[in-house]
Amino acid sequence: MTTGMSLRTDRIQLSYTGTPVIDDLTVDVRPGEILILTGPSGCGKSTVLRALAGLLRPDSGRVLADGTEVTGTSRDRAVVFQDNALLPWRTVRSNIELALKLRGEPRAGRRALADKWIDEIGLTGFADYLPKSLSGGMRQRVQLARGLAGAPRAVLMDEPFGALDTQTRATMQRLLIDTWRTHPTTVVFVTHDVDEALLLGDRVAVLGRAGEPLRALLEVPQPREPDVDRAVLRAKIITALEN
């Protein structure tokens, strides 16, 4: 089991051509939280995520992972995009086994671990399928498992459920929360969907248009579950009784 890392963009400026897309952005991501990055289309959400991943170097400022400057990609920080690169010639199991191999899992244990992941993402029976034989939602499940199987200390997700239909999307949101609880890690999740932001996020950062400062950084009232709500209330009552 891993715990999440802290991430920080420290006054970063990001650009592709002359004009900065992101100018002087400072955001802290707390260890183990789900931070939502949202904002208007084209405001630079994906750009910030790329910088956090180490795929794009800031013109100025720094990206810090647990206080250490990020200078490139790392398996500590997994990236899950809308439809990224499951290896098409590898089966579901084999795609997940690869993530386990890359994190140094000995060969002997990989298959069983991969099959455990496959059960966890609800794809029991599909281990030997190739990605092209799966629906978009099923592929996204495999991507989630593959991303988390490497035991990353942060997962960076760029509108991962954006292409899914409403029903599948709701299922995936549920699955993400459940999986994140079982395999705690820091998550930075990009979405332009407010409902998704409120459902998944511990906090929501709202980016302004290109070059504008951060518009808002909001705490989302927790817990996510009505049952837990009652549990908190119960705990409050017990505490009050004990005092």
Q: What is the dihedral of CA 85, 89, 92, 94, to 10 degrees?
A: -100
Q: Restricting to residues 168-187, name those near ligand ADP by CB under 6 A.
A: none
Token reading at 4: 């999440």
Residues in the chain: 243
CB of 71 to ligand ADP, least distance (A): 20
CB of 135 to ligand ADP, least distance (A): 25
CB of 141 to ligand ADP, least distance (A): 23
Q: Restricting to residues 31-50, name those near Mg ion by CB under 5 A.
A: 45-46
Q: Which is nearer to ligand ADP, 39 or 131 (CB)?
A: 39
CB of 212 to ligand ADP, least distance (A): 12
Q: Provide the residue type at 222 as one letter.
A: Q
Which region, left, alpha or beta, applies to residue 32 given φ > 0 means left and ψ of -120 to 50 means alpha? left
Q: Which is nearer to ligand ADP, 5 or 210 (CB)?
A: 210
Q: Which residue is nearest to Mg ion (CB)?
A: 46
The SS3 of residue 6 is coil
CB of 116 to ligand ADP, least distance (A): 34
The SS3 of residue 60 is strand
Token reading at 189: 């999740």
CB-CB contact of 9 with 61 (8 Å): yes
Q: Restricting to residues 64-83, name those near Mg ion by CB under 5 A.
A: none
Give CB contacts under 8 A, 24+ apart, made by 218-222.
none
CB-CB contact of 94 with 86 (8 Å): no
Segment contacting ligand ADP by CB under 6 A, of 34-42, 128-136, 177-185, 232-240: 34-42
Q: Which of 1, 41, 88, 167 binds ligand ADP (CB under 6 A)?
A: 41
State how far the Cα of 66 lies from the Cα of 19, in Å rounded to an integer: 30
Q: Restricting to residues 190-229, name those near ligand ADP by CB under 6 A.
A: 210
The SS3 of residue 62 is strand
44 touching ligand ADP, by CB under 6 A: yes
CB of 183 to Mg ion, least distance (A): 25
For CA atoms 107, 119, 6, 51, the dihedral sign is positive
* Residue whose pair of structure tokens reads 């978009």 in the numeric block: 136
How many residues of this chain bind Mg ion (CB under 5 A)?
Answer: 2
15 touching Mg ion, by CB under 5 A: no
19 touching ligand ADP, by CB under 6 A: no
20 touching ligand ADP, by CB under 6 A: no
Which positions lie near Mg ion, rule CB under 5 A?
45-46
Which positions lie near ligand ADP, rule CB under 6 A?
16, 21, 39, 41-47, 210
